[in-house]
Structure 1
Amino acid sequence: MFWRGQGLASGAALAVAIATAAQAAPAPQRFTAFTAQAQAAPQSSPAARRELQNVLIHYFERRIERPTPLNNEDPIPDGEGLDGAKLGVDDSNATGRFVGLKFELRPTVVDPGQDFRAAFADLVARERPAFVVVNAPADDLLAISDLAAANKTVLLNVGAPDVRLRDADCRADVLHVLPSRDMLADALFQFLAFKRWTRVLLIVGPKPEDRLYADALRKSARKFGARIVEERSFDAAGADIRDSAADELTLATRGPEHDVVAVADEAGEFGASLPYNTASPRPVVGTQGLTPAGWGAPVESWAAAQLQDRFRKLAGRRMRPIDYAGWMGAHAVGEAAAQLKSADAPAIRELLLSDRFEVGGFKGRALSFRSWNGQLRQPVYLLWPSAVIATAPIEGFLHQKTELDTLGLDRSETACAAMKG
C-alpha cells in the first residue's frame, strides 16, 4: 500500500540531530596494480579514543569505464556510491556520539582491469574488515564473498541489482541494499495494473544488462496480469540516435495495439529518445520515461528533503539511487551499533542479519532485511524527471506479512539456500 500514515519519527529525529558537519572521509585508496599499499589509520587524541568506541566501515568499489551518455548534462559521477557512504558515516557520527560511538569510513577504489578479488584479499589480510559497503558488478561481488578469510565480513551490496544474487547465487553474509531488478519491475507493473495499462510493447537493448532488465519485466508482467503483446530488439550500433530517432524509433514501436511502451536500456543508448518518438501516442516506462527506482531527485516526503539537502552540500550534486544505497549501507551499520550502544563487531553483525533489526530510511516506514535472501525491503518510487508519480507497493496489493514483500522475491519464490530464513 502507499506509505501515507505509516511514517517513522526516526527520519525526522535523525534530521534534527544532524546539526553539525561531521569529519570528511579520507580519500579512497586506489589499486592501480596487484600490489596494495597499506593505508595509515587517521590519528585521534588519546582522550577521544577513551571516550568514543570506534566502528570502522570500509567502502570497496570497482571503478567501471562507462560510455559517455547521450545526455551530456547528466554523466555518472565518479563519486557515485562513495559520496552516499560518506554522508551515511557523517549522519551516524552526528547521532552516535550520544551513545559513545565514533564511525570511520575507509574507502578503496579498484581501477578497471585490476584484480578485484586480489585487492580485497589484501584488504582482508591487512585489516580484517567487519563491514564493507561494496559497489561492484555481480561477478566481482561473488568473487570476494567466497573468500574463506572473509567469512566473518558483512558485505553490503549497493551496486549490483542482479536477481541471481538474491536467488540461487545468494551468500550468507551479503546484504543487498540496492533494490533488485525484479523489485523495480514489480513496482512498475503494480502501477500499470493499477492504471489498467496491461498491454505492453517491449523494446530491448543489446547489452546483457538490458536482457536481464527485460527478464525482470517479463516475470513481473506475468505476476501482475499484464501481457507483453510483442517484443523488439533495438541496437543503436554506435550511431547518434538523436539524429535519427524520429524515423528509427517510430519504426521500432509499430506493432499490435498496446497501452505502454516498456524499454530495457540500462546503458542509456537510445531510451531517452523514445518518449514522443513512438509510433502511437503512448507512455514510455522502464529504464527511461516513467522509471522505477529506489531514490531520485524529486523525493522529498518523510523528511527526505533534508537528506537531499545534506547530500547536495557534501557532494555538490543530486543524490542518485546508488548514492542512497551507499548512504543506507553505512547508515544501517551505524543504526545497528547505536541500537546496541556498542562497537562490538560480532554483535552488530548478528543484529544486522537478524529479524529484530529495523532502520529508518526517509521512506515513511521501517526498513529491514529479508531473512531468506538478505534483500532490504523498501518502497520503490515511480519517477518522472521532476516528480514522484507514485510509490510502490501500490494500494491494493496485499501480503500476509508486509506489503513491501510484494516487491521482489518472496520467501516461497527464492532458491537461496545460504540464508537461514
Structure 2
Amino acid sequence: MPTATAIILGVMMVKADARRSSAFQRFTDFVRKGAVFGSALAALSMTLCPTVAQAQAQTEPLSQIHIGVILPSTSEGTELDHAVAQAAQQGVVLATEEFTQNATMFGIDFAVVTAEAEGPDVIAAAEDLLAGGDVFAIAGGFDAEEGRLLSQWANENTVPFVNLFASDDRLRNELCAATSFHVAPSSAMYLDALTGWYVRAGLRNWFVVRSEDEESAAQYERLGRALSERHFGAREVGHAVLTPGVGLQDDALDAIAGSGADVVVLLSPAQDQLDALVRLEKRNLDLLVTGFPHPQTQTRTFFAASRDAAPVLGVGMRALAWEPTLDAYGARELNARYMDRWDQPMESAAWAGYQGIKVLFESAMFSSSTEVEPVLSYLAAPGSVFDVWKGIGTSFRPWDHQLRQPLYLSKIDPAATETRLLGQLVGELPAIYMPGTEPVERLDQIGDLPGQSQCRL
C-alpha cells in the first residue's frame, strides 16, 4: 500500500502538471496495449516538448544509443579517491545493465563506452570516445578542473555533456555552456542547504576555515551570502586560511576557541578536513564541525576516517547528494538493487554515475534521436522531467542547466559496525513533502536564482 506521503506527493504532482500526467497515462496505455514504441514515444514527446517531437517526426526509428563516460581511475590516488572511483564505476555498470535490458525490449542497441582519465587527460579521453564514431554524448567531471575542461571541449565540439560530480559554481556562471548539463549539485546548493539545516537548528555563529585556492575562496564568498541574505541573526565570527601542506595552525585554533563559534565549516579538501578534525579534537572544543561535501567526503570511507580521527568532533553531520539509507520515493528499490549487485551501499558518486546515464538515455529515447539539436532541446525543455529517485520530478534550470534536486544531511554513527549504517539520514532540503508550493518553486529554494546567475546561454 502507498504511504500517506506518497499519496500526497502524487496528488501534488498531478495538480502541478495535469497535462504532463495525462500524457504519461496515454504513453502507458499505448505500451500496455502493445502499440509500436515509436508511436507512443511520439505522442508523449508531442505533449511534453512539441518542438522536439516536430523536429523528429520525419526521422528514422531510433536504433542505437551509445554514451561515453569518463571515470576516475580505481588504481591511483588515495584511499578516499579510490572510494569515489569505485562507486562511480559501479553506478555506471548498474545503469548499463539495467538500461541495456530496457533498450533491448525495443530493439535498440544500447552501450556505455567508458574511459579512465583524470585532470587534463580527460580531454584526450573525450576525443578518443568521440573518434569511435558511436557515442552521441559524454558524461564525466569529478572535480572543478575536469568539469571546466570537459564543458569547454563539449561546447567547442557541439557534444552534449553531463557533469556528474563537479560542484564548482563557475561552471554554472561565467563558464557555463549551452551543451553542458549538471547532474552534480552546485556549490551554491550545498552551501544553502548547510546553512539552512544548521541555522534552523539554532547554530548562528559560524567560523569558516578555507584553503587558498580559487574554488575555496568562491565557496567562502557564497557561504557569506547565504548567511547574510537568507538567515536573520546568523553571522560569521571569524575565518582562517589554510596554507597548503601546513594545515590548521595554533593561531587559527586559538581564534576558533575564542570566537564563540557554534559551528566550524571546513572549506578544504577531504584530507585537510581530516587533519583539521584531529587538531580541533585535541582542543576539546564544545562546538560542531562540518565540511564542504567534496566527492571524497561523500563516502563511507571518509565517514569511517572522520570517526577514527576525531571520535567527538568527527561524528557530526555531512551534506550529501545521495544517502544509502534513504528509504522513500523509490530510493529504497534503487539502493536495494545496488546493494544486491555490489554488496555495498550506493554512495553519491554511484548515484551520480547512474543518473548521468539515465538522463542521457531518456533524452535520446524521448526525443527519438541521438542528434545534437533534439537531445539538447529535450534536456533544456521546461516540460522535460527526470525521475532521479529523490521523490519529485526534477528538471534542468533554464538559466544555468543545473538539475533541480533535494540534498541530504547524514549523521556519522560513532557505534555503527555495518558500512551502510555509518551514516544515518537526518535531514532533507528542500523538504519536498511539504504541501503548499509548486515542485519547481520548492526545489529552487537552494542554489542561485536567475537574478544571481552570471550564465548567459
TM-score, structure 2 normalization: 0.69
Residues 220-258 of structure 1 show CA distances to partners (whole Å, capped at 9, x for unaligned) of 22232221111123469468x9xxx9x999646302223
Q: How does 1:121-132 map to 2 (within 5 A)?
A: 121-127=127-133, 129-132=135-138
In angstroms, what is the RMSD of aligned CA positions? 3.6
Q: In the alignment, is residue 257 of structure 1 matched against residue 260 of structure 2?
A: yes
Aligned to 1:162: 168
The one-letter code of the counterpart of 1:218 is G
Contact 2:169 2:188 (8 Å CA) reproduced: yes
User: Cα gap change, 1:143/1:264 in structure 2, threshold over 3 Å: closer, same or farther?
Assistant: closer
Paired with 1:211 and 1:320, the residues of 2 have a C-alpha distance of 27
My pick for the range that moved more, 306-315 or 150-159, is 306-315
Aligned to 2:424: 387
Deviation at 1:396, TM superposition (A): 10
SS at match of 2:327: coil
Aligned to 1:356: 383
Paired with 1:317 and 1:324, the residues of 2 have a C-alpha distance of 13
Q: How does 1:239-318 map to 2 (within 5 A)?
A: 251=254, 253-269=256-272, 270-273=275-278, 279-287=284-292, 289-318=316-345
Paired with 1:211 and 1:332, the residues of 2 have a C-alpha distance of 32
Deviation at 1:402, TM superposition (A): 1.2
The one-letter code of the counterpart of 1:258 is A
The one-letter code of the counterpart of 1:124 is L
Contact 1:193 1:224 (8 Å CA) reproduced: no
Paired with 1:82 and 1:265, the residues of 2 have a C-alpha distance of 25
User: Cα gap change, 1:336/1:115 in structure 2, threshold over 3 Å: closer, same or farther?
Assistant: closer
Alignment equivalent of 2:67, drawn from 33, 57, 60:
57
My pick for the range that moved more, 160-169 or 255-264, is 255-264
The one-letter code of the counterpart of 2:286 is P
Deviation at 1:315, TM superposition (A): 3.8
Paired with 1:149 and 1:401, the residues of 2 have a C-alpha distance of 27
Deviation at 1:153, TM superposition (A): 1.2
* Aligned residue-pair number: 367
Aligned to 1:133: 139
Aligned to 1:377: 404
SS at match of 2:85: coil
Aligned to 1:28: none
User: Cα gap change, 1:120/1:268 in structure 2, threshold over 3 Å: closer, same or farther?
Assistant: same
Deviation at 1:184, TM superposition (A): 0.3
User: Cα gap change, 1:267/1:124 in structure 2, threshold over 3 Å: closer, same or farther?
Assistant: same
* Larger relative contact order (CA 8 Å, sep ≥ 6): 1
User: Cα gap change, 1:144/1:284 in structure 2, threshold over 3 Å: closer, same or farther?
Assistant: closer
User: Cα gap change, 1:151/1:338 in structure 2, threshold over 3 Å: closer, same or farther?
Assistant: same
User: Cα gap change, 1:190/1:277 in structure 2, threshold over 3 Å: closer, same or farther?
Assistant: farther
User: Cα gap change, 1:401/1:58 in structure 2, threshold over 3 Å: closer, same or farther?
Assistant: closer
Contact 1:259 1:283 (8 Å CA) reproduced: yes
The one-letter code of the counterpart of 2:290 is V
Paired with 1:142 and 1:129, the residues of 2 have a C-alpha distance of 21
Q: Which runs of 5+ in 2 are unaligned?
A: 15-20, 22-60, 293-313, 413-422
Aligned to 2:29: none
Paired with 2:208 and 2:341, the residues of 1 have a C-alpha distance of 39
Deviation at 1:87, TM superposition (A): 1.9
Q: Which runs of 5+ in 1 are unaligned?
A: 11-50
The one-letter code of the counterpart of 1:87 is L
SS at match of 2:240: strand
The one-letter code of the counterpart of 1:220 is A
Aligned to 2:309: none
SS at match of 1:104: strand
Deviation at 1:345, TM superposition (A): 6.0
Paired with 1:214 and 1:278, the residues of 2 have a C-alpha distance of 24
Paired with 1:400 and 1:356, the residues of 2 have a C-alpha distance of 13
User: Cα gap change, 1:131/1:91 in structure 2, threshold over 3 Å: closer, same or farther?
Assistant: same
User: Cα gap change, 1:224/1:268 in structure 2, threshold over 3 Å: closer, same or farther?
Assistant: farther
Contact 2:207 2:236 (8 Å CA) reproduced: yes
User: Cα gap change, 1:400/1:158 in structure 2, threshold over 3 Å: closer, same or farther?
Assistant: closer
SS at match of 2:238: strand
Residues 78-132 of structure 1 show CA distances to partners (whole Å, capped at 9, x for unaligned) of 33423222222333234344444442100011256x6432443343334263211
The one-letter code of the counterpart of 2:92 is A
The one-letter code of the counterpart of 1:141 is G
Deviation at 1:178, TM superposition (A): 0.5
Aligned to 2:306: none
Alignment equivalent of 1:89, drawn from 96, 112, 115:
96
Paired with 2:193 and 2:280, the residues of 1 have a C-alpha distance of 20
The one-letter code of the counterpart of 2:334 is L
Residues 190-235 of structure 1 show CA distances to partners (whole Å, capped at 9, x for unaligned) of 1123223221122234555544443332232223222111112346
Identity among equivalent positions (%) equals 22
Deviation at 1:59, TM superposition (A): 0.3
Deviation at 1:323, TM superposition (A): 1.8
User: Cα gap change, 1:210/1:272 in structure 2, threshold over 3 Å: closer, same or farther?
Assistant: farther
Deviation at 1:403, TM superposition (A): 1.4
User: Cα gap change, 1:405/1:135 in structure 2, threshold over 3 Å: closer, same or farther?
Assistant: same
My pick for the range that moved more, 407-416 or 150-159, is 150-159
Whichever structure has more helix as a proportion of its residues is 2
Aligned to 2:196: 190
Contact 1:61 1:108 (8 Å CA) reproduced: yes
